[in-house]
Amino acid sequence: MNITKIFSEYFNRNGYGLGIFLLVTVGFWVILLIILPQLSMLDFSFRHHLPPPEMGGPKDTYTIEHYKYLVLGAPGSDSSYNVVDLGVFGRTLLAAIFVTILDLVLCYPLAYYLGQSSGGGFTRVLVLLLIIPYWINEILRAFAFRIIFGESGVINEMMLAFGLINNPIDFIRANVALYAGLGYAYILLMIFPIYNVIESLDRNQIEAARDMGAPWWRIHWRVVIPYAKPGIVSGCTMVFMLSAGALAAPQILGGPSSLWFTQIIYQWFNQGGNWPRGAAFAIVLLVTCVFIVLSLMRLFKVKMGDIGK
């Protein structure tokens, strides 16, 4: 199918007015708000850290020193590798994977119930209850989680009152509050993609599997999960990317030893004033996350077109 036929079918389906509006809107979003800023960041990451008067001068050349710093650290350091930044980078990715798995485990049963229910009043109320908390700002929700999980917070007070513990538990230092806050922040991004796919699943397939004596776990493993795979991958992609790139939640809910890689990037941009190094670190995080997502899509045999359906 050539490009002319594609555009012809597109305008026949949407009309010229709506079709042009959609193309301009999507083009503005993709090119001006995504591609060009990332290209600018990429160019900046290969520049020397120079005073403003020297930018654009003969010293303003390309270099890979900022990428070398991430791997090797400062010249003359005792270690042959930048163990601090690389350790934070690895912990951030592992934590983002953990948050993604946690959200998937929590959201899949709920998404299945919503998708296969008859759509009565209780289901609509349940969906509304999921959405209403997100009317509150993300920063306020993070501080609310800090209050709930604090040593004098609701959870510790209830556990002390029921005699479950003798001393308050420091959920902040243990990163429990951080993982709970991140999981809660992106839970809708996991539920609705899975729900949208499962909603279109023919219930007769599930009934046929039950009639043939398949247990519930085999029905999900052989029927529901393969069908819902695009929604699962879409939800996991959004939760993983946003968790790895989170900044507000780690700063508010993180303990003393839970430095997030995005916090290092923030420090280079705003406190260190070294924008090229911050850009290099940001590009490394972006490329690594995209590589992980594409690798998992290839592993589970999910195409980009399947997610867009």
pLDDT tens-place string over residues 23-81: 899 999 899 988 999 999 999 899 988 887 887 788 888 999 999 999 987 776 666 78
Within the chain, which residues score under 50 in pLDDT? none
User: Which residues 6+ apart lie within 8 Å of 32 measured at CB?
Assistant: none
Amino acid symbol at 268: W
* H-helix segments, the chain: 3-14, 16-27, 36-45, 65-72, 83-116, 121-131, 138-149, 154-161, 176-185, 187-199, 203-211, 216-219, 225-244, 248-253, 261-266, 275-299, 304-308
pLDDT of residue 105: 94
Q: Which amino acid, residue 185?
A: A
Q: Identify the three-state secondary structure at position 247.
A: coil
CB 185 within 8 A of CB 140: no
Amino acid 56: pLDDT:
78
pTM above 0.75, yes or no: yes
pLDDT at 55: 78
In sequence order, the β-bridge partners of residue 62 are 47
Q: Which residue has 């030893």 as its token pair? A: 257
Which pLDDT value is given to residue 308?
63
Q: Note the pLDDT of residue 74.
A: 76
pLDDT (0 to 100) of residue 1: 52
- Which pairs count as long-range contacts for 290-299, CB under 8 Å and 24+ apart, including other chains? 292/93, 292/240, 293/237, 293/240, 293/241, 296/233, 296/236, 297/233
Query: Domains plus CATH for the chain?
Result: 96-308 (1.10.3720.10)
